[in-house]
Amino acid sequence: MLYQIHLYVPKTGTLTPAMIDWLYQHGTSTDQPEAFWPVRKLRTAQVAHIILNFDPTLLPEPGSGGDVTLHYPLVEVGLRLYIHARGVIVLFPFSGGMLARVVLGIAYTYIRFLSQQGGFWSFDPQLNTLLFTDDLRTLDETAALMESVLPKLLEG
């Protein structure tokens, strides 16, 4: 099972719970007019290029419809950034203990970079909360959630 953190650039400069709800209801729709979208449309190749300039060790993989996946070079970490037309999804496996904190630290480095350089806001669907990149409490909450869920995943 993968942990996901979604990143979007809101058109208004602020991401709200109502915007997240709209994205969950209409995010896969192709018939919504651009004016209805609460987040900006991205040029996936350009975003991938910016991230690769920040960390050239990432391994790019083209996807369908112009999407791009950037894989962290250590396969054991399992982290990847999936760039699509409306945002970036940071994905990594559930883990516990010190490994969880290491992986979260790496993930939050990319999240902080995208927030500061591109105006991205973050949403954690597992915690159902908007993330603030300088909030270490959120990092601790995410690690605690991963540690609490991990035994359940190992049972089933």
Place of tokens 């190749």: 45
Q: Which pLDDT score is estimated for 103?
A: 87
Which alpha helices (DSSP H) does the chain contain, by range? 17-26, 44-54, 97-118, 136-155
Please write the tens of the pLDDT for every residue from 69-92.
999 999 989 999 999 999 999 999
Nearest to 86 by CA among 11, 3, 31, 18: 11
- Banded model confidence at residue 133, pLDDT cuts 50, 70, 90: low
Burial classification of residue 92, based on how many CB atoms lie within 10 Å of its CB (0-12 exposed, 13-18 middle, 19 or more buried) = buried
Q: Which two tokens stand for residue 91?
A: 């994905």
pLDDT, tens only, 17-59: 999 999 999 988 889 999 999 999 999 999 999 999 999 999 9
Q: Which amino acid is at 136?
A: L
Indicate if the pLDDT at residue 130 is higher than 60: yes
Going along the chain from its start, the domains and CATH numbers come out as 2-150 (3.30.310)
